[in-house]
């Protein structure tokens, strides 16, 4: 295991340098030189595996010692992203040669989503996707095309989200309740944070459980490849982590009595609780989970563009509108749009 960790760290260091090169090379916004993204792609499989099944939440040793210290938590810099350059161009008039112009040319924005996450992205009776994440996607489509629905959705399992922006036939964006972490930032670029939540625990009403500490030796469910599952696995109370493809599958297991609790972001738990009134959310949040949009780290112009859209939708009240529609009642908290933090 230690050899594997060392290999992972060196891979991270390589990808980190590549990432920095990519950021520094932000000129026209066109496709980045192969040198910037090449090593990242080559090393990904080595770096990805331990991330998925190794419990250590990575403030990676390699990264800490590297050129740029990435830190998580309330005072961390992990949430910083690229500052928008000037006002947004009018819809339909993207800067020639930019990634947005390519998307406009293609006619559709391709977005990786989770389609079973109630309140964030789920199917309505007409099978259309709706939810808080989908509203964000609609606003980005609106900014590029002047129409909210020029989107091709690609459903992703939680564990496949990073691969989706880097692999063959990549998506433009991943908007899927994705937490920004230092480890993930080695391999993808993130937008500014559009929603903040923290991890809590969902149990059957009347189970007597108050928090994760009371679940030692019991089965606790979370999505494979999520930060939530890692947090469960490293918890000192030693609960038994059960990984599934999608957070909603956890609710099935809880209802069938195959797990004792679900632990993930409070906002996702609120979506599960809304589907099963005989459950309750317990405890205080024990992690910070800032959600941001994942983008290929080569496409810095798209990162800046998306950040401009995110800032604008907060400024013109659409963030509040969307929050009120989906999350206010289930979360029982007033709207608090995250303040964007920038690198540059």
Residues lying near other proteins in the complex (CB under 8 A) are found at 107-108, 115-118, 122-128, 150-155, 246, 248-249, 251-252, 255, 272, 275-276
Q: How far apart are CA 222 and CA 199, in angstroms?
A: 11
Q: How far is the CB of 182 from other proteins (least distance, A)?
A: 30
Query: Smaller CB distance to other proteins: residue 115 or 192?
Result: 115
- For other proteins, give the closer residue by CB, 129 or 314: 129
Question: C-beta of 250: minimal distance to other proteins in Å?
Answer: 9
User: Which of residues 54 and 154 has its CB atom nearest to other proteins in the complex?
Assistant: 154
Task: Please identify, using beta-carbon distances, which residue of 93 and 152 lies nearer to other proteins.
Answer: 152
Q: Looking at beta carbons only, is 235 or 273 nearer to other proteins?
A: 273
The CB-of-205 to other proteins minimum distance in angstroms stands at 17
Which ranges of the chain would DSSP assign to H, the alpha helix?
2-24, 34-53, 61-65, 99-106, 132-145, 161-166, 182-185, 227-233, 247-255, 266-275, 300-315, 318-326, 328-331
Query: Beta strand pairing status for 289-291 and 195-197?
Result: antiparallel
CB of 173 to other proteins, least distance (A): 15
Q: Is the dihedral of CA 47, 51, 53, 59 positive or negative?
A: positive
Between 211 and 280, CB nearer to other proteins: 280
- Percent of the chain that is helix, strand, coil (3-state, to 5): 40, 15, 40
Smallest distance from the beta carbon of 277 to other proteins, in angstroms?
A: 11
Q: How far is the CB of 115 from other proteins (least distance, A)?
A: 6
CA-based torsion, 22, 24, 29, 34: positive or negative:
negative
Residues 222, 228 contacting (CB under 8 angstroms): yes
**Cα distance between residue 89 and residue 112, in whole Å:** 24
Specify the DSSP class assigned to residue 81.
B
C-alpha 126, offset from chain centre? 26
């Amino acid at each position: 295991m230690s050899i594997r960790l060392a290999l992972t760290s060196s891979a991270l260091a390589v990808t980190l340098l590549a990432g920095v090169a990519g950021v520094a090379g932000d000129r026209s916004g066109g496709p980045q030189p192969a040198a910037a993204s090449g090593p990242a792609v080559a090393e990904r499989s080595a770096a990805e595996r331990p991330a998925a099944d190794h419990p250590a939440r990575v403030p990676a040793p390699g990264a800490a010692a590297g050129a740029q210290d990435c830190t998580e938590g309330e005072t961390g810099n992990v949430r910083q992203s690229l500052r928008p350059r000037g006002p947004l161009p009018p819809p339909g008039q993207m800067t020639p040669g930019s990634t947005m112009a390519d998307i406009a040319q293609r006619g559709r924005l391709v977005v990786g989503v989770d389609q079973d996450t109630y309140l964030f992205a789920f199917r309505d009776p007409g099978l259309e996707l709706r939810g808080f994440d989908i509203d964000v996607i609609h606003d980005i489509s609106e900014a590029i095309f002047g129409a909210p629905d020029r989107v091709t959705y690609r459903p992703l399992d939680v564990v496949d989200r990073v691969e989706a922006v880097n692999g063959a036939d990549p998506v433009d964006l991943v908007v899927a309740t994705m937490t920004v972490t230092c480890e993930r930032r080695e391999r993808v670029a993130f937008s500014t944070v559009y929603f903040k939540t923290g991890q809590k625990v969902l149990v059957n009403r009347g189970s007597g459980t108050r928090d994760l500490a009371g679940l030692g030796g019991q089965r606790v469910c979370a999505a494979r490849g999520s930060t939530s599952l890692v947090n469960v696995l490293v918890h000192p109370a030693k609960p038994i982590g059960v990984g599934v493809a999608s957070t909603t599958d956890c609710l099935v297991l809880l209802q069938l009595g195959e797990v004792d609790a679900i632990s993930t972001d409070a906002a996702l738990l609120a979506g599960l609780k809304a589907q099963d009134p005989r459950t309750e959310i317990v405890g205080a949040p024990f992690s910070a989970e800032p959600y941001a949009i994942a983008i290929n780290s080569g496409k810095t112009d798209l990162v800046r563009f998306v950040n401009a859209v995110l800032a604008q939708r907060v400024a013109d009240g659409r963030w509040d509108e969307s929050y009120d529609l989906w999350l206010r009642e289930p979360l029982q908290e007033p709207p608090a749009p995250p303040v964007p933090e920038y690198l540059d």
